[in-house]
Structure 1
Amino acid sequence: MKKIIICLWALIVCCWGCEDYLNVKPSNVQAIRTYDEVKALLGGHLRMYAEPDYDNLEGTSIPYIENDIWTFLHFYGDDIDVDTYVKNRYIFGNIKNLYVESANWKNTTQPGVIWKAYYSNIGFFNTIIDELSRVEASKEQADIVRCEAKVLRAWHLFKLMQYFSPYHLNKYGLPVNLDAQKVAEYDASRKTQEEVYRIIISDLTECVECTTEPRSTYNVFYDKNIIHAILAQVFLYKGDSGAKADDDYENAASHAKSALEALKLQSTEDYEPFPVYNEVLGISKEAPHALMVDFRSANELRFIVGNPKSASQNLYSSASLYALFKDNDIRKTKFFNDKQVITKYMNIATGYVSVELYQFWSAAEMYLIIAESYARSGNESEGKKWLEDFQKHRYSNYNGYQGNALLQEILNERRREFCYEYDMRWCDLSRLQTGWTRSSYEDAEHPTYTLEDNDYRFTLPIPVKEELQYNDIEQNPGWLIVTE
């Protein structure tokens, strides 16, 4: 039955028409008749996380592993030494086109890959929720499927907001359709940031307050700790955005503390960048330091951190990142050798060439969310307390924070701790809006490229091919000339 359901879902996807990813399954297509079929259909998607070799459920994907998204976001950040990167023939030769398109932060192709991956999945989650309402199921049965789909949908919407919504402009939220019965008549205009965050927070709050316990044999993202961690991220990111509210930072700290109940921060004695990873490929929720780790066989990581075991594949830290590490920072010798070669993933036994490791919702992130939330809300004593509690786990002979720029030190800790981890740095840059200059590549007219403070390029453009040619919504400010 599961194979039949998957084939029917693939047929539904093909029937959507064009590439309008906000449109979902027409109401006259009835492929699912029972609760078990709805549960199995969503289970087919979840299985992609647990078993990387499992054939993909057509029409859905795991967005963070799609088509060089990690490498693209890495190129947009400031942790890469671009001068040495482009001289590495082994690494650069395999990824040159993506780098050249991204060097001046004007890549207009990769945003379409991201848009398609996330919105396609949102349409799938809408269908699951809609079909669930049409079948007979007990409250407990319905809850474990509905909450799984709603947490995933909220997480996807949040990532789209981080990538595509200009941070300080409330009017430029995203188009959102949550009704699987609406195909052509839905409101396709951009909602405000406030409206989109209301949807995200409502779905997550409903699920974290649900009285039905998640099923460990089925649920992945319907996990109260994960939901608290996502809410902590959402409220922190929202806190200075165009949709900011007075209680955002209070909520961020509260949810981060709840998530921390299931996590342990490594000490200076036992610290490793990735102390637990799946020797069996797929996700693990057993790591004490992070709520989810995903270990996969792939090649993308080598384009980000190289392979320090092979001199021809060495990649180097940017000078600005390396300068942030003090000599008593235990991460310094874990993340780099004495020539600034990146070694952060050295303890992955199989090397860098054919693996990827994604880490989500770590204890370190929750600590720093709490510290930043207190600092931004004016409670510097509590912010300093949480920062110092974190730093004593990362510095030998630690004597407390002695500086007078608490918030900046917390932000520096985020950059140190999460360097070269998926989209962490770019999402921080998109909210901090702090620019920098780097060398160009084979551009005689422009020896350097500069991303100015508050530059429009901190937000990705709404893609033309995947959205604007079907939906006449307003492009993000600054991108009109570039994308025409």
Structure 2
Amino acid sequence: MKKIFIVYIIFGGLLFNSCTKFLDLPPKNQRAVETLADLKSVLAGYLDAFTRSSTQPIVGIMPVVTEAHQMMLEAHSDNIDFEANMGTYLSPGNFNAQERFYADKFLMNDRATTDAIWTKYYEVIGFLNALIDQSEELKGADPAELKRVQGEMLVHRAYYIFKLQQYFAPMDNEELGIPLYLHTGKEVVGINMKRKKSSEVYGVLIGDLKKALALYEEVGPNVGYSIFFNQRYIQNFLAQIYWFKAESSSKESTDYTEAERYAFSAVDGVDTYIPKTMTEFLNVHTNLNTEYPAVYVQSVAFGSMSPMYGANFGDPSSLKVPLDFFASFDASDFRKQIYFTGDRLAASWPDNATTKKMRMHIFAPEEAYLILAESYYRNGKVDEALATLNKFKGFRGATAVGGLSGQTLLDEIVKERRKEFFCDTDKRWLDLKRYKIGDIDRNLRFFNKDYNVKVTPGDYHYALPIPVAELQENPDIIPNEGWTTIVF
């Protein structure tokens, strides 16, 4: 990200020069916005995609976790027994993907997707840097509305920063956080972008979100405009950050206390909205419950997830899952009936249809609930942890557990996360990374050649490779070691 600059065109989008030029804006004396109305109009070109899934934002990608993105991180995790399903994936009846697609995904060789995450997420950070900087210079703007817009931008920027940190920074190397620059470089021509310490990245995230939360408490939302600028969402987000940070090289003794505090606030009053039957669960998943307190995003690409999860009409179907995972469900747990047909992945999951679109909820209350249960446990409140876990199980019709403590209780919380977030974007991969669990050992054959992929807890696979173009453009950046690209 050396000599980074972006030229913004008012109301018309923007022009990007290369994947390494996203964190700095614009040439001196060139402004993207002159008034608060200008700022809101430019930002709306990005926000609109969160309210209308058919809209391509003026910057970034939509959905914010793309189909390729989810399929890649699914392929990096252990939800599906890929080795046992190779005959299905490479069957002549599967006309949705070629052998190269599966080779790249299952051998963790999908550089196009990791590159896209890096470049597109930094693209949005640069865009928001520009608008945040220029919002500080607006004269005569309505103070309350300006604070609402600034709060909205701070939470969105934090989302992309956090995801890049989760994906590309190792858990145990404090020096290898992501590169980060939060301004538009109006005083300098170029910037040498080194990797920040992870603690610095988390400091930025927490500082920005606490500022956004204070702004919300001061002025409240603009109901017709605000999307991420929501008290419950910000509290949920802070809980996620403290929870993830607490097992990293940047951990502090207060992390779980803070995760507990924000998760408790995020779930306050949500029980009414959390689905408690199969029908309610499916309605939430397909966004038919408009009162459900989370941000819903979906793609519009018909069949775009079919190559990974399977569906009818010639796509992979009846996929095998690990037997221990299937056996972890109670007979009364309605998620078991939704996820599986027999002991195989149901053709209707994960989208409750055979269309296989990308569907996701950001800041879902279920995530805050399970963070709260774990935070109670980590803070020595075993009774509260067990009660919260059992309350959550009750939402899903699952059987309560009793007498658990220590590692057994933590293991049960982790199992509940796996069941709740089955095929949910990046969650299982991030759990494998954060908890340092699971061995992946795959012996696969592609293009008449045998390949072995072995992933051990905490190894290099849990910090995605920095794009080659970034390493070439930016001599100050340190790569994530261990990755090699397979040439077929």
Query: What is the TM-score with the length of structure 1 in the denominator?
Result: 0.88
CA shift for structure 1 position 395: 3.4
Q: Paired residue for 2:197?
A: 192
Is the 1:253–1:373 contact (alpha carbons within 8 Å) kept by the matching residues of 2?
yes
Q: Paired residue for 2:476?
A: 473
Q: Among all aligned residue pairs of Structure 1 and Structure 2, give the percentage whose two residues are the same amino acid.
A: 26
**Aligned pairs (5 A) from 1:452-471:** 452-465=456-469, 467-471=470-474
Q: State the alpha-carbon separation in 2 of the partners of residues 72 and 330 from structure 1.
A: 28
Q: State the alpha-carbon separation in 2 of the partners of residues 181 and 251 from structure 1.
A: 33
Change (3 A) 1:203 1:285: farther
Q: State the alpha-carbon separation in 1 of the partners of residues 33 and 228 from structure 2.
A: 23
Q: Paired residue for 1:219?
A: 226
1:428 aligns with 2:431: yes
1:276 aligns with 2:281: no
1:5 aligns with 2:10: yes
Q: State the alpha-carbon separation in 2 of the partners of residues 52 and 201 from structure 1.
A: 29
RMSD over equivalenced CA pairs, Å: 2.8
Q: Paired residue for 1:174?
A: 178
SS at match of 1:162: helix
SS at match of 1:130: helix
- Which of these residues, 95, 99, 103, is aligned with residue 100 of structure 1? 103
CA shift for structure 1 position 221: 0.8
Is the 1:293–1:357 contact (alpha carbons within 8 Å) kept by the matching residues of 2?
yes
Q: Which amino acid aligns with 1:192?
A: K
CA shift for structure 1 position 201: 0.5
Q: State the alpha-carbon separation in 2 of the partners of residues 311 and 115 from structure 1.
A: 30
Is the 1:276–1:287 contact (alpha carbons within 8 Å) kept by the matching residues of 2?
no
Q: Which amino acid aligns with 2:204?
A: I
CA shift for structure 1 position 73: 1.0
Q: State the alpha-carbon separation in 2 of the partners of residues 311 and 68 from structure 1.
A: 17
**Aligned pairs (5 A) from 1:364-443:** 364-395=366-397, 398-404=399-405, 405-434=408-437, 435-442=439-446
Q: Which amino acid aligns with 2:48?
A: R
1:323 aligns with 2:341: no
Q: State the alpha-carbon separation in 1 of the partners of residues 48 and 170 from structure 2.
A: 34
Q: Which amino acid aligns with 2:60?
A: T
- Which of these residues, 157, 163, 167, is aligned with residue 161 of structure 2? 157
Q: State the alpha-carbon separation in 2 of the partners of residues 4 and 457 from structure 1.
A: 39
**Aligned pairs (5 A) from 1:11-410:** 13-14=15-16, 16=17, 19-57=20-58, 59-62=59-62, 64-66=64-66, 68-82=68-82, 83-88=84-89, 89=91, 90-91=93-94, 93-94=96-97, 96-136=99-139, 137-182=141-186, 184-210=189-215, 211-261=218-268, 263-264=270-271, 266=274, 268-269=276-277, 272-276=280-284, 286-288=290-292, 290-298=293-301, 299-307=303-311, 313-342=317-346, 345=349, 348=352, 351-353=353-355, 355-395=357-397, 398-404=399-405, 405-410=408-413
Q: State the alpha-carbon separation in 2 of the partners of residues 80 and 409 from structure 1.
A: 20
Q: State the alpha-carbon separation in 2 of the partners of residues 437 and 223 from structure 1.
A: 42
Is the 1:103–1:441 contact (alpha carbons within 8 Å) kept by the matching residues of 2?
no
Q: State the alpha-carbon separation in 2 of the partners of residues 40 and 358 from structure 1.
A: 26
Q: State the alpha-carbon separation in 2 of the partners of residues 445 and 293 from structure 1.
A: 42
Q: Which runs of 5+ in 2 are unaligned?
A: 1-7
Is the 2:49–2:56 contact (alpha carbons within 8 Å) kept by the matching residues of 1?
yes
Q: Which amino acid aligns with 2:231?
A: K
Change (3 A) 1:91 1:127: farther
Cα deviations across residues 151-177 of structure 1 (Å, max 9, x unaligned)? 000111000011000011111111111
Cα deviations across residues 41-78 of structure 1 (Å, max 9, x unaligned)? 00111011212233431x43336344611111111110
SS at match of 2:259: helix
Q: Which amino acid aligns with 1:460?
A: L
SS at match of 2:283: coil
Change (3 A) 1:199 1:319: same
Q: Which moved more, 1:101-110 or 1:68-77?
A: 101-110
Q: State the alpha-carbon separation in 2 of the partners of residues 60 and 481 from structure 1.
A: 27
Q: State the alpha-carbon separation in 2 of the partners of residues 471 and 177 from structure 1.
A: 14
Cα deviations across residues 81-103 of structure 1 (Å, max 9, x unaligned)? 21225523344751542321232
Change (3 A) 1:29 1:399: closer
Q: Which runs of 5+ in 1 are unaligned?
A: none
1:449 aligns with 2:460: no
Cα deviations across residues 106-164 of structure 1 (Å, max 9, x unaligned)? 43332111101100000000111122122221221211111111100011100001100
SS at match of 1:441: strand
Q: State the alpha-carbon separation in 2 of the partners of residues 470 and 311 from structure 1.
A: 41
CA shift for structure 1 position 209: 1.2
Cα deviations across residues 438-472 of structure 1 (Å, max 9, x unaligned)? 3323387756422112211111011111x111112
Q: Which moved more, 1:456-465 or 1:295-304?
A: 295-304
Is the 2:351–2:358 contact (alpha carbons within 8 Å) kept by the matching residues of 1?
no
Is the 1:229–1:255 contact (alpha carbons within 8 Å) kept by the matching residues of 2?
yes
Is the 1:66–1:117 contact (alpha carbons within 8 Å) kept by the matching residues of 2?
no
Q: Which moved more, 1:41-50 or 1:320-329?
A: 320-329
Cα deviations across residues 374-427 of structure 1 (Å, max 9, x unaligned)? 22233222211211111222235x353344500000000000110111111111
* Alignment length (residue pairs): 468
Change (3 A) 1:278 1:440: closer
Q: Which amino acid aligns with 1:332?
A: K
Change (3 A) 1:376 1:446: farther
Change (3 A) 1:30 1:271: same
Q: State the alpha-carbon separation in 2 of the partners of residues 106 and 481 from structure 1.
A: 8
Query: What is the TM-score with the length of structure 2 in the denominator?
Result: 0.87
CA shift for structure 1 position 33: 1.8
Q: State the alpha-carbon separation in 2 of the partners of residues 177 and 346 from structure 1.
A: 37
Q: State the alpha-carbon separation in 2 of the partners of residues 262 and 76 from structure 1.
A: 36
Cα deviations across residues 4-62 of structure 1 (Å, max 9, x unaligned)? 7232x42xx33x566322333223322422221111000111011212233431x4333
Change (3 A) 1:97 1:309: closer
